[in-house]
A and B are shown apart, each in its own frame.
Chain A
Amino acid sequence: MNSNRSIIPICAGLALLIGWAVAPLDRSIAERLGQNTEVETLRNLDSQFGQGLSVAILGGYRSVAANLVWLSMNQNWEQRDLAGTLGKLVFVTSIDPRPELFWLNGSRIIANDMPTWVIGIDNTDLHIESAEVRAISSQYANRALGFLEGSRVYHEQNPLIYIEEAMILWRKANDLEGAVGRFEQAIRAESPPFYAYRMYGELLVKLDRKEKALKLLETHYETLPEESIEAMKPVVADRIRNLRRELGH
């Protein structure tokens, strides 16, 4: 039936030859697409989702695998399962650390939702006077900050991560100086959003550094585009006017 068995070694040899010839092309594409982290990702994972997940990650379905774990985490979140949610948050960012949404939403869950689960009430702000509530809130704020620390490798210059850290330090850990530092990093990062300056200005006013806040907003105002709604130019102008009035300029 077949008289072409002799072709196999020739075929294998030619296959090797073409593989060798296209290897530089292969390397250059893989480098541009950043496809050299899957094996490293796998080393950082535990095996709670089985071997299927490993194959999915290595086979190029890392995003899909991470999304599935995120959906599974959502169920734990709905049931207020603290350990399960925390475990899967770490897991999902280990599988795919590239999307910022996993880091941002994850840190919000840790800093905002988890303290309420521990305390057993829905609004910690109503009980903010309690030392116990403050301690729990601070503990989870630190956990959230530790979680965000893991994003540095992939999001070193992402202003959104710095803003998130600043907000946690400000609102949850009550570390206003720490928040100032993070806002500074956020506005120095690449393309910070307009609201970063407004929030930073608000924090400086709260710290009674109105001169600095005024200078920040005035410098920022010069760079704001007229046509952008997000820039909120009239709001910034209003704040500058108020600060000038308060400072007697």
Chain B
Amino acid sequence: MLSWSISRVVTIGLNTFREAVRMKLFIAMTILAMCTLASSFLFREFNFGSSELKFIADFGFGGMTVFGSALAVIVTAQLFYGEIEHRTALTLLAKPIHRSEFVLGKFFGSWATVTCFLGMLSVCLVFVLWFRETSILEEYPDEFEGGRRIVQYGEIVWFSVVQVFRIGILCSVVILFSTYATSSLFAMVMGVLVWIVGQLQHIAIEARGVVDNLILKSVYAFASFALPNFHLFDVGEKLALGESLPSSVYLKLFVYAFLYSSFYLAVASASFNRREL
């Protein structure tokens, strides 16, 4: 019997990554997101002083989550379901490869692609903030205590790391839907829906405790337990206000993302094993 191999997962992952970064969509999204970040230079027209840096950070963080999540859904569905749609998965799975290795390889490839995208945006955001902070430091030195810089660049890196965790869950959800889907559009739509519902999940949590109707309570309970709470990963609001978060929060977010991703990938592997190609 064929033993399970991590090297095959890595090979599939690397190929998926190479395929993804050559996609026109990836390049277009990267350019679009960078242009959005660069457009925050327009804030200087308002003469906000050092407050402009908070505005730039907010827009940068917002751009990273929106574009990152959109890219995760589209790229993962395209790369996974595309293989089934174009029948290339058949050629690949005819070789001595476990289906779970294929699922994991595709997941890591897609995840690495979006991580790469987030990395580029982070560098871009750091550059924009550093450039504007240097200019504002010269224009309004009184706003900087002791001439010290106020942007905590390390926190931007942490924000990106947290987004990588979030993207991990989203990619695994899209993989799960792709193993079941009969079209890539279905996987994408379901991925977007999970993203939106997950983002608004805290409302269901709050509503669960407020309503008395048992049916409604059950619906809210299902929505709040069955899907991940993506809102937890919105740490940018805190960081843009100059607050630092303890490492325990990052650790908890990692555990949360790891548990959900592992669960979705395990179910995706089981589902893909049963699928007739």
| A32 partner residues in chain B, CB cutoff 8 A | 245-246, 249
Given A2-B180, A16-B222, CB of A35 within 8 Å of CB of B234: yes
Given A28-B252, A33-B232, A228-B146, CB of A59 within 8 Å of CB of B199: yes
B contacts with A, residue count (CB < 8 A): 55
The answer to whether B54 and A7 have CB atoms under 8 Å apart is no
Find residues 225-249 in chain A having any chain B CB closer than 8 Å to their own CB: 228-230
The answer to whether the Cβ of A189 comes within 8 Å of any Cβ in the partner chain is no
Find residues 199-249 in chain A having any chain B CB closer than 8 Å to their own CB: 228-230
Closest to B196 in A: A59
CA of A90 to CA of B263, assembled, Å: 45
Q: Which of A19, A30, A34, A67 has a CB less than 8 Å from the CB of B226?
A: A19
Task: Produce 1/0 per residue, B191-211, CB < 8 A to A.
Answer: 000001001101101100000
CA of A193 to CA of B59, assembled, Å: 29
Find residues 213-242 in chain B having any chain A CB closer than 8 Å to their own CB: 222, 224-227, 229-232, 234-238, 240-241
The answer to whether the Cβ of B26 comes within 8 Å of any Cβ in the partner chain is no
| B260 partner residues in chain A, CB cutoff 8 A | 18, 22
The answer to whether A60 and B231 have CB atoms under 8 Å apart is yes
| B237 partner residues in chain A, CB cutoff 8 A | 60, 62-63, 98
The answer to whether B202 and A4 have CB atoms under 8 Å apart is no
| A60 partner residues in chain B, CB cutoff 8 A | 65, 199, 230-231, 234, 237
Closest to B50 in A: A101
Q: Which of B146, B205, B222, B271 has a CB less than 8 Å from the CB of A4?
A: B271
Interface of A is mostly: helix
The answer to whether the Cβ of A149 comes within 8 Å of any Cβ in the partner chain is no
| A128 partner residues in chain B, CB cutoff 8 A | none
- Shortest C-beta distance, B41 to chain A (Å), equals 14
| B275 partner residues in chain A, CB cutoff 8 A | 2-4
Task: Produce 1/0 per residue, A54-74, CB < 8 A to B.
Answer: 010011111110010001001
The answer to whether B202 and A23 have CB atoms under 8 Å apart is no
| A35 partner residues in chain B, CB cutoff 8 A | 202, 231-232, 234
The answer to whether A29 and B256 have CB atoms under 8 Å apart is yes
Given A15-B225, A58-B200, A63-B58, CB of A29 within 8 Å of CB of B274: no
Q: Which of B146, B147, B202, B255 has a CB less than 8 Å from the CB of A30?
A: B202
| 7 further interface pairs, Cβ-Cβ under 8 Å (given A18-B263, A21-B259) | A4-B179, A4-B275, A7-B274, A22-B256, A36-B202, A58-B200, A64-B62
**Subset of 29 A-B contacts with CB under 8 Å:** A1-B276, A2-B276, A3-B274, A3-B276, A7-B271, A14-B267, A15-B227, A15-B263, A16-B222, A16-B225, A16-B226, A21-B259, A22-B259, A29-B232, A29-B252, A29-B256, A33-B234, A34-B238, A36-B206, A38-B202, A39-B202, A39-B203, A39-B206, A58-B200, A63-B58, A63-B61, A63-B236, A63-B237, A230-B146
